[in-house]
Structure 1
């Protein structure tokens, strides 16, 4: 497959005017939906918080202890200890 690297980059759907209009309409609809059903949503807050923890771990991708895999610049470890 031959791809020309000089082609103009097409912006993603969300960067186009139609995507921005759809996102704005979705935010407005979500606001009014949440406003009308706030009493129902408040009962689910503890469950949503518990669900957020594993979802954040899945979205992060590295899991626990992911920072020790990155190489450090020489002399960086001595600078942090002082």
Structure 2
């Protein structure tokens, strides 16, 4: 009969949470891309403001913003995988 090692005394070589690589959006290229997209969006909106404001489609903007925020912001709190765990942080 062989004796099993006690699991509380087992040494793990790797830490429980390995460091993640930095996010693309926080890198220099990501910041440049955000600035370029914002500047392009502002210029495009300025050039086409008559069509945007006069079309009557502006009323749908709050709905589109809500859907977009729901879609993009689920990564901030663990996404859908953390439902039912009890901590809402």
Q: Deviations over 1:6-50 (max 9, x none)?
A: 75431111000001101110100001000000111112211323x
- The alignment of Structure 1 onto Structure 2 pairs a total of residues equal to 58
Counterpart of 1:31?
Answer: 42
1:2-81, aligned counterparts within 5 Å?
Answer: 4-5=14-15, 8-42=19-53, 43=55, 44-49=57-62, 51-52=63-64, 55=67, 59=70
Give runs of ≥4 in structure 1 deviating > 4 Å.
none
Rg comparison, structure with higher value: 2
Could you say what the CA RMSD is over the residues aligned between the two structures, in angstroms? Answer: 3.4
TM-score by length of 1: 0.52
Structure 1 residue ranges without an equivalent (≥5) = 62-69, 71-82
Shift of 1:53: 7.8
Change (3 A) 1:53 1:14: closer
Q: Which has the higher helix share?
A: 1
